[in-house]
């Protein structure tokens, strides 16, 4: 027995010596810093190890020049037209779903109208680079985000799109990055498209934050364009040591649940106006939206999650340049170069419906297998750069050959004239809108009644709001509170001004002052009858309500 105790003490001392603070390479030369090969870890991560081993055994890197690496993509997309040849009839049918372009004798022509002018400008940046080596051709290019030629309705149409799913016949073209017409956010008001500058800044960020100095957590920042992103955000809130994922202000998807509030923005001696605001709580999963984050900021983190948006993700290619491990969610949406990047070779594949627990397991796998994670992350930048070189998208110089403004043969200055006319028209339209707004304000000022509409009242978030009305030196205070009206209870931190949902005038007749405040103890409440009337108005908001002191 004494012998067993001594053996146990020696084993314990050896274990403590090896584990130490972080099991450094000096104290544990046979152990990696984060590779923990316990029995539980091997069992839990067995399927990941097997997937990596299989992927590496079957992977053949493509080092061919030209477009040979993408031959399968082109053959697959064009195969549907092998029996039904592309003719003028198909082109005419496709015109309504895209923008018609023609290349004739080294000149580029486009139909006069373009649904998405900035996207057309981005497309034309690339077309003008190849027109001198292209035979005369007519083609239709989709300027929308979503593909247009579905496999399950109608005949296949020859429409070029930058991304699609297997349910569409669109022909993918190598739009590495739109010079203009990409997604625009506050950080990139002209769109996420200047690949030439992003390559430089992201490479600098990668050098600034090498693998060992990156934060050992997963990162995501974006709007809630689909619910696929929810589980990572939920995991981040529950376990911030694993993920830092938050929603920004949404630009696409809106929910049915709203929070309404009003902000005082203009006042004169006789008139008070208010601006109606609306926040869709579900757009940010019931939390306030956060600010957007620059692409370079992503490089501070080891693990970057990429989700599709309305179509394929524009940030996808940029994330790889950080030298971080990309977790790519879903495999339905594709762009021209996607097939060059392989799961478990260049990125970690994630199912779109992955639960928070499944996401946690994947992140912990990367954390517990640092050498494997680093090896996969290092392959990404090299492969993306190879795709860029193959597709010839690295140049920042805009060629001068050709033009793409109208269907007429353009002169050398027609592009400038066209966009000058467009800007002049936009300026005139803006001036007319401002004039109409001034007329509206004047009309509201001349009105003499005060309408208190309650259409959004049940969603207003506040503690207490008082509205003071004065007439002939007599004052009454209308107090709105959760205890008096059935309000949805939410955070009362914002200052709220309760006024109608459209621009509303508080007339000289009532000389009312409207303000938001936390109700003081000595505030004056209306009598029970007035509160009852308020409830009745609330139950039938279409009638509105009119309150002035007697």
Which residues in 119-137 are b (16+ Cβ under 10 Å) and which e? bbbbbbbbbbbebeeeeee
Apex 116 CA angle, 114 and 119, nearest 5? 110
Residues that are catalytic: 145
In 482-533 the beta strands, taken as DSSP E runs, fall at: 513-514
Cβ 145 vs Cβ 311: under 8 Å: yes
Query: Could you give the CA distance from residue 446 to residue 508 in angstroms, rounded to a whole number?
Result: 10
Please say whether the beta carbons of 365 and 37 come within 8 A: no
**Contact partners, residue 100, CB within 8 Å, separation at least 6:** 91, 110, 111, 138, 139, 140, 407
Which phi and psi (to 5°) does residue 353 adopt? -100, 20
Q: Which region, left, alpha or beta, applies to residue 72 given φ > 0 means left and ψ of -120 to 50 means alpha?
A: alpha
Task: Give the number of other Cβ atoms within 10 Å of residue 213's Cβ.
Answer: 9
Six-digit token string for 442: 């004047």
Distance CA 48, CA 71 (A): 30
* DSSP label of 364: H
Strand 348-350 vs strand 334-335: parallel, antiparallel, or unpaired?
A: unpaired
**How many whole angstroms separate alpha carbon 248 and alpha carbon 277?**
17
Helical (H) or strand (E) element with 536: helix 528-539
Neighbours of 327 (CB within 10 A): 24
Tell me the backbone φ, ψ of residue 270, rounded to 5 degrees: -110, -15
- CB of 97 within 8 A of CB of 140? yes
Query: Residue with structure tokens 């060992």?
Result: 212
CB 180 within 8 A of CB 277: no
CA atoms within 13 Å, Cβ hemisphere of 172? 24
Query: How many CB atoms are located within 10 Å of the residue 347 CB?
Result: 23
């Amino acid at each position: 027995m004494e012998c067993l105790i001594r053996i146990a003490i020696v084993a314990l001392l050896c274990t403590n010596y090896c584990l130490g603070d972080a099991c450094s390479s000096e104290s544990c030369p046979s152990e990696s810093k984060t590779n923990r090969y316990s029995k539980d870890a091997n069992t839990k991560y067995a399927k990941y190890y097997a997937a990596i081993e299989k992927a590496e055994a079957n992977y053949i890197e493509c080092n061919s020049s030209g477009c040979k690496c993408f031959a399968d993509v082109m053959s697959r997309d064009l195969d549907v037209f092998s029996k039904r040849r592309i003719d003028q009839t198909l082109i005419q049918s496709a015109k309504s779903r895209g923008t018609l372009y023609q290349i004739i004798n080294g000149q580029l022509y486009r139909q006069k109208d373009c649904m998405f002018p900035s996207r057309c400008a981005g497309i034309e940046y690339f077309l003008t680079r190849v027109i001198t080596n292209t035979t005369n051709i007519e083609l239709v290019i989709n300027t929308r985000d979503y593909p247009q030629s579905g496999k399950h309705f109608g005949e296949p149409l020859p429409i070029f799109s930058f991304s699609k799913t297997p349910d569409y016949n669109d022909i993918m073209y190598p739009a590495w990055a739109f010079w203009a017409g990409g997604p625009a956010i506050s950080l990139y008001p002209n769109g996420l498209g200047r690949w030439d500058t992003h390559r430089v800044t992201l490479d600098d960020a990668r050098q600034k934050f090498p693998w060992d100095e990156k934060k050992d957590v997963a990162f995501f920042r974006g709007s809630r364009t689909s619910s696929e992103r929810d589980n990572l955000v939920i995991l981040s809130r529950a376990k911030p040591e694993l993920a830092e994922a938050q929603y920004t202000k949404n630009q696409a998807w809106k929910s049915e649940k709203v929070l309404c509030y009003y902000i005082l923005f203009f006042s004169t001696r006789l008139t008070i106006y208010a601006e109606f605001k609306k926040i869709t709580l579900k757009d940010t999963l019931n939390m306030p939206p956060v600010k957007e984050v620059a692409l370079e900021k992503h490089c501070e983190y080891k693990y970057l999650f990429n989700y599709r948006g309305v179509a394929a993700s524009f940030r996808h290619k940029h994330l790889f340049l950080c030298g971080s491990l990309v977790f790519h969610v879903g495999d339905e949406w594709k762009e021209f170069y996607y097939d060059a990047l392989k799961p478990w070779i260049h990125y970690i594949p994630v199912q779109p419906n992955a639960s928070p627990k499944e996401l946690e397991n994947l992140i912990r796998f990367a954390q517990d297998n640092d050498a494997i994670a680093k090896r996969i992350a290092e392959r990404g930048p090299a492969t993306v750069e190879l795709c860029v070189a193959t597709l010839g998208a690295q140049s920042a110089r805009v060629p001068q050959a050709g033009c793409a403004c109208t269907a007429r043969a353009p002169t050398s200055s027609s592009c400038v004239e066209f966009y000058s006319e467009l800007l002049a028209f936009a300026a005139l339209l803006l001036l007319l809108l401002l004039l109409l707004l001034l007329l509206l304000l004047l009309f509201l000022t001349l009105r003499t009644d005060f309408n208190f509409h309650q259409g959004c009242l049940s969603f207003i978030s506040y503690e207490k709001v008082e509205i003071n009305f004065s007439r002939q030196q007599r004052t009454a205070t209308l107090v709105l509170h959760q205890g008096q009206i059935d309000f949805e209870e939410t955070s009362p931190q914002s200052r709220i001004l309760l006024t109608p949902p459209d621009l509303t005038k508080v007339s000289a007749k009532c000389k009312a002052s409207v303000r938001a405040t936390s109700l003081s103890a000595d505030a004056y409440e209306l009598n029970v009858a007035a509160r009852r009337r308020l409830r009745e108005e609330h139950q039938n908001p279409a009638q509105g309500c009119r309150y002035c002191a007697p």
